[in-house]
Amino acid sequence: MRRFKQRMAAGRVRRRLVVTAVALVALAAAGAALAATKWPTAKQEIATSGINNVKFCGTKPINLAVEDGFGTNAWSAESYAAVKSTAAQCKNVKVIMTTAGDFVTSQEIANINAAVAQGANAITVIADTGADMLPAIQAATKAGVKVIVWGAAAGGTAGQDYVNYVDWNDGAAGTLWANWMVKVLHGHGNVVYTGGPPGNPVGADQLKAIVNVFANHPGMHLLTGDTSWPATYWDPATAATVTAAFLTQYPKIDGIIANFGTDALAISQTMQKAGRKLVPMAALDANGLSCLYKSKKLPLMTISSRNWLGRIAARKAIAAAEGIPNNEPAIINLPAYEDTTAGKTYQCNPKAAPDFYPSNKLTPAQITKFGTTG
């Protein structure tokens, strides 16, 4: 009897050892697979507009909330579409709400709080009013929600106050525009800058960079000043009104830098209506702007409107909620998308809408399906 019990005990030990060994082998295999993952470089992300085969869906049911701190224009529609079309690749992910903050801090905060209350496991948020949104984001993180900030900085610390911050380098964009303008104007000219709603962090970072570049070129004059800009609110109608005002104020304008392509188009159209000649333009890409400048054969330099970064934001948010690593680049220095002075020609599609942004590689069908709130 004693030998029988000893054999039974030994069998149990062997089984436990086998189970443990199998588990260790599986864990080692998973670790090896992760180590072998070749994450896309920033250059590769740019080339594909963030479209890749990175695994991020997992299997656990995930509720995703999508918040845009502004949310009221075509740029917002393509941002929503980039995030939600990516989430749609995962059968286990449900987008429970898509909200717009209207650039009102209290509304943006309320939207985040509502997402948490409705059971979001992950949130992507464009923090248009900046650091004012940070306490709500921190509270969501404390509640266990995986938050990815993208498109506009919220301050705080990535990895602590939220999972990560995905965006272009705002300052690098301003520097790129400013250096191009110096080149095309041969170091001498009067320049107007428009940066969207007053005080937004994206516009502020870009203005600081532009001022720094122009400081090394005494012949470059920023007519709109070093600390603020004519507030367009990223709305073409407002941009047209603002332009009419500064055309009266500034009789000689040699170049324009606008941090929203549709604003740049509205500015150019208003100049035409006022009988003013169009001037070299540095902006974000917009189909109508490309077509207008192509028709006039004028110098144009644009950077991608970058809504495609929402694809990376979505993957990082979902992966974090699933417990899956995502080591895609988070901050990307975007190059010129169009630069007619350097062989990057106009990206005009006469069949597409003026406020279509071709650099995002979204289809009109995707924008219609995924580019709305609700």
- Find out whether 64 and 93 touch, Cβ atoms under 8 Å: yes
Query: What is the tens place of the pLDDT at every residue in 250-279?
Result: 999 999 999 999 999 999 999 999 999 999
Span 110-120, mean pLDDT?
98
Residue 336, pLDDT score:
98
Lowest mean pLDDT among 2-11, 60-69, 140-149, 322-331: 2-11
Span 222-237, mean pLDDT?
97
Q: Grade residue 9 by pLDDT with cuts at 50, 70 and 90.
A: very low
Q: Is the model's pLDDT at 285 over the cut of 80?
A: yes
Q: Is the model's pLDDT at 17 over the cut of 90?
A: no
Span 213-219, mean pLDDT?
98
Residue 184, pLDDT score:
98
- According to DSSP, the β-strands at 281-284 and 255-258 are parallel
For 78-81, the CB contacts below 8 A with 24+ separation are: 78/305, 78/307, 78/357, 78/360, 78/362, 78/367, 78/371, 79/126, 79/151, 79/307, 79/310, 80/310, 80/370, 80/371, 80/372, 80/373, 81/307, 81/310, 81/362, 81/366, 81/367, 81/369, 81/370, 81/371
Residue with tokens 């998308």: 337
Span 313-334, mean pLDDT?
98
Which domains occur in the chain, in start order?
54-168+307-334+361-370 (3.40.50.2300), 171-303 (3.40.50.2300)
Q: Is the model's pLDDT at 140 over the cut of 70?
A: yes
Q: Which residue type is seen at 370?
A: F
- Find out whether 78 and 360 touch, Cβ atoms under 8 Å: yes
Q: Is the model's pLDDT at 6 over the cut of 50?
A: no
Span 219-244, mean pLDDT?
97
Span 152-176, mean pLDDT?
97
- Is residue 77 classed exposed, middle or buried when 0-12, 13-18 and 19+ CB atoms within 10 A define those classes? buried
Q: Grade residue 36 by pLDDT with cuts at 50, 70 and 90.
A: low
Span 82-93, mean pLDDT?
98
Closest Cα partner for 46 from 305, 316, 335?
335
Lowest mean pLDDT among 30-44, 70-84, 240-254, 349-363: 30-44
Q: Grade residue 14 by pLDDT with cuts at 50, 70 and 90.
A: very low
Residue 4, pLDDT score:
38
Per DSSP (E only), the strands in 163-266 are 164-168, 189-194, 220-222, 255-258
- Find out whether 234 and 269 touch, Cβ atoms under 8 Å: no
Tell me the pTM.
0.89
Residue 145, pLDDT score:
98
Q: Sign of torsion, CA 97 127 76 167?
A: negative
Structural element, H or E, at residue 281: strand 281-284
CA distance 63 to 115: 9
Return mean pLDDT, the chain: 92
Q: Which has more confidence, 262 or 27?
A: 262
